[in-house]
Structure formats: C-alpha cells, structure tokens
C-alpha cells in the first residue's frame, strides 16, 4: 500500500500554502493534493483518512498540533482540506490550532495516510513550511518589532512620549495623591452641607408610624370571611362533569381484548405458517497444514480454521489443540469428513478413521482404508449420523501403520486453475 501512494508525497510538498481566515476564531491553512497510483495515474473517488501534524523539527516527536480528516478524492483524484479550520467531520487529536506560536521557531508539516479506514497511518514524509501565513504571524507581533510612530488613523497615538500622551488625553493635571489626602472643593462642600442629618428624618419617621399595624387589618379579614362557599358551585359543577372510572368501561374492555405477551404459543405459530420453524445448526472446519501421526497411535485431527458456523463451535482439548466440535442444541447430526493422505515411499499402508463422541468411540464409525505409496494422494471420506445432546462434542481420530503416511494439503493448481485442497475437512449439520 505504501508503494501505491508514494506519488501522493510528491504532490503534497508541491502544495499551495496560504492563510485562510473564516473568522477570528476559525483560521486555517489551505492544503491541496492529487492522489496518484504507482503508474502516475490519478486515483478518483477514493476515501482516505489524512493525518496532518505540525512539528518544530523533522526528528523531534514533539507535535504542536495534529488533526485527522476523512476525505474523498474527486473525479481528478484531487482533494482539499484546510488545516486547523473547525469542521464537523474533523478530529483534532492535539491542539488547539490557535495556540501555535508561529514567530518563535520554524514549523514542519508531517503527512500520514490511512487507506483502509482502520486508523493505521502510513507516514508519507515531513517538509519544512517555508512561508508562514502573515495573518498567523501577526497574532504574535511584539512592540519591539515596530519602527517609527503609528498615527491615529492606523490605530496608534501619533506620539512617542508619555507627557504628550497625557496632554492629548487631558489627564496631565491628574497626580497620584490618595483620595483621603485630596482637598475638597467649595462646590463639593456646599453639596454635602445640603444633605439631611439623622435628626432631619423625624418627620419621615412620624409618617411611617401612622401606617396600619397587623391589628388594623381585622376589618379587611372579616370581609374576606363573609364570602360564601356557595360561590364555588360553578367550579364544582365542572368537576362533576368529568368522567368517573365506570365511564371508561368501554375503553377497558377493548384493551382487554388485545393479545398479551406469552399468549401466542409455538403451536399457534406453526399452525398459522403451515409448517414448523426450525433451528439452523451447521459448521465447516478444516486445516491446510500437514498433520503427522505416530505409528499405531490414535491421533485427534485438528481443525483450526472455521469456514462457516452457526450454533456449532470448535474448542481445544486438554493438549490445547482445536479438536472438539461442540453443538449448542440437541439433535441428530450428519458428520462428514475428508482426509488427504500421502505416502511418499513405495509400498502400501492401512489407515483407520473413526469418530469419538464426548471422548468415547462412537459405535460402528471406524473405517480401514488401503493407502497406496509412491507419492499417490489418497482421499479418505466418510459420512455418519450421530446423536448429540446440548453441548456434546465430536472428534475425528485416525491411525497409521507406516510413519511415511501423513495427512497433508495441496496448494492451488494451474492449467486449469483449481483451488487448494485442505489436509483435513469436517462438516456437520443438524437434521431437521
């Protein structure tokens, strides 16, 4: 995959770099590239994840900002992103972008690509950013870098000393004397003398004393008590007009006629369908590696690869080998097997194959096969019905009389094209 996207790296560092200011708080750097394959052709309509990192140098692992952006190339293989801009589909993993100090050190742009959507990124390289956008650098311009006097029209004062600035702002007569030591003007003194003293409030206090006390409200309270309860008859009549519980009998009866959970049985469903729904239990297990055996020794065949499986699993035996084919549901199961046995030397051999259920040999399943030598591939097959309970398991065993006989697979063949042959294969289906 690195070889396919090596041309992206060349295009990325021919990027167009400029400052984009969407708003004061949403800045970014335009980034544009064309994705090309190994032959130099553009890659149109391709979904990629781009991880962009801004670093202080190429060797350091220190990253000042990092984001992940999902993009899709257009019909020309072109894609565009704005590094640092706030977007709904963008993930900022290190930031924020506004905290980058563009004025202190050189910055480097590192580009990584995820082509499979699993967030395993391929590093496409790191390149120095030669031209920092002016708007970013302006955020960190220091006063020591300004030469001359900035006029009022340009946001300055037009002055170069503090005395003239105070005069301009009409604050040159102000000193730093504490308020407690400053003299009081005649006007302020006159205004203070006109304020009321505590004795001047006697008239106001007398007026407050003339207001009613709690006991003075008895007359008003008595008037309230004279209001008759009969005045609420209109409200009472409205309440009486509302429905009682018995008025909902019709609605209650309709609800009671609905089917409750658990009332429909399996028999009801079978009757309605015209047939009984059945469980679907099956499995296909195999191995492509060679599986040797000791002479005259019962050897359990291993099935580490699962082709298909539903409600049937393979688990390890006490030697941690995947030999136990375990069923979830009880029933009669059809067990079929195929073993490709190869004997490289001359002469014949006899191989025995049988089924074990829960560790014990299953009745009448052993078959003795005559094996031809001299590199001939012998196919041993069998099919049996086995009764199993829930969580029972079966195992397939074989034994040989010659150490040169071995269960082995075959690679894919050509002329004509044919798929590979597994060394051992077992299928199992529940009979319904």
- pLDDT of 135 reads 57
Read off the pLDDT of residues 289-314 as tens digits, 9 standing for 90 and up. 999 999 999 999 999 999 999 999 99
Question: Could you give the CA distance from residue 277 to residue 292 in angstroms, rounded to a whole number?
Answer: 44
Read off the pLDDT of residues 6-32 as tens digits, 9 standing for 90 and up. 444 444 433 434 444 444 456 788 888
The reply to whether the predicted model has a pTM over 0.85 is: no
Task: Identify the sign of the CA torsion 408, 412, 418, 419.
Answer: positive
SS3 251: helix
Question: Could you give the CA distance from residue 420 to residue 418 in angstroms, rounded to a whole number?
Answer: 7
Read off the pLDDT of residues 331-371 as tens digits, 9 standing for 90 and up. 999 999 999 999 989 999 999 999 999 999 999 999 999 99
Alpha-helical runs (H) found in 13-145: 134-138
Q: Where are the domains of the chain?
A: 6-138, 282-431
- pLDDT of 231 reads 59
- Name residues whose C-beta falls within 8 Å of residue 126's C-beta, 6 or more positions apart in sequence: 55, 58, 108, 109, 110, 111
Instruction: Report phi then psi at 170, rounded to 5.
Output: 60, 40
DSSP bridge partners of 55: 63, 108
Question: Could you give the CA distance from residue 5 to residue 11 in angstroms, rounded to a whole number?
Answer: 10
The chain-wide mean pLDDT, for the chain, equals: 83
- pLDDT of 351 reads 96
How is domain 6-138 classified at the architecture level of CATH?
Answer: Sandwich (2.60)
Question: Could you give the CA distance from residue 403 to residue 295 in angstroms, rounded to a whole number?
Answer: 6
Segments in the chain below pLDDT 50: 1-4, 6-24
Angle at 353 between CA 351 and CA 354, to 5 degrees: 155
- pLDDT of 255 reads 72
SS3 210: coil
- pLDDT of 153 reads 73
Of the options 2.60.40.1250, 3.40.50.1000, 1.10.357.10, 2.60.120.40, the CATH number for the domain spanning 282-431 = 2.60.120.40
Question: Could you give the CA distance from residue 391 to residue 394 in angstroms, rounded to a whole number?
Answer: 10
């Amino acid at each position: 995959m690195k070889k396919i996207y090596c041309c992206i790296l060349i295009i990325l560092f021919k990027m167009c770099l400029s400052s984009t200011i969407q708003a004061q708080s949403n800045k970014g750097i335009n980034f544009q590239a064309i994705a090309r394959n190994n032959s130099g052709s553009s890659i149109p309509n391709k979904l990629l994840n781009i991880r962009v990192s801004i670093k202080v140098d190429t060797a350091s692992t220190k990253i000042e900002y990092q984001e992940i952006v999902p993009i899709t190339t257009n019909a020309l293989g072109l894609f565009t992103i704005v590094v640092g801009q706030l977007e709904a589909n963008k993930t900022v993993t290190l930031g924020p972008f506004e905290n980058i100090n563009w004025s202190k050190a050189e910055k480097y742009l590192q580009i990584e690509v995820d082509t499979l959507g699993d967030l395993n990124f391929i590093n496409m390289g790191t390149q120095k950013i030669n031209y920092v956008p002016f708007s970013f650098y302006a955020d960190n311009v220091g006063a020591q870098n300004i030469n001359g006097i900035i006029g009022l029209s340009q946001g300055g004062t037009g002055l170069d000393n503090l005395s003239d600035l105070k005069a301009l702002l009409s604050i040159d007569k102000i000193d730093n004397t504490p308020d407690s030591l400053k003299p009081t003007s005649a006007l302020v003194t006159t205004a203070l003398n006109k304020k009321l003293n505590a004795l001047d409030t006697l008239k106001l206090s007398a007026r407050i004393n003339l207001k009613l006390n709690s006991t003075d409200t008895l007359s008003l309270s008595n008037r309230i008590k004279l209001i008759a309860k009969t005045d609420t008859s209109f409200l009472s009549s409205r309440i009486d007009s509302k429905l009682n519980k018995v008025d909902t009998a019709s609605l209650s009866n309709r609800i009671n006629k609905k089917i409750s959970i658990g009332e429909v049985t399996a028999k009801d469903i079978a009757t309605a369908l015209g047939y009984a729904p059945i469980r679907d239990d099956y499995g296909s297990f195999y191995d492509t590696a060679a599986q040797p055996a000791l002479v005259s020794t019962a050897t359990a065949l291993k099935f580490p690869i699962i082709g298909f499986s539903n409600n049937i699993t393979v688990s390890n035996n006490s030697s941690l080998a995947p030999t136990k084919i375990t069923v979830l549901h009880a029933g009669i199961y059809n067990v079929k097997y195929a073993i490709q046995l190869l004997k490289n030397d001359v002469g014949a051999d006899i191989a025995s194959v049988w089924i074990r259920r829960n560790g014990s040999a299953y009745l009448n399943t052993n078959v003795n096969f005559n094996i031809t030598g001299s590199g001939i591939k012998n196919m041993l097959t069998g099919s049996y019905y086995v009764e199993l309970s829930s969580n029972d398991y079966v195992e397939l065993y074989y034994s040989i009389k010659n150490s040169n006989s071995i269960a082995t697979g075959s690679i894919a063949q050509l002329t004509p094209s044919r798929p590979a042959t597994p060394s051992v294969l077992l299928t199992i289906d529940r009979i319904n």
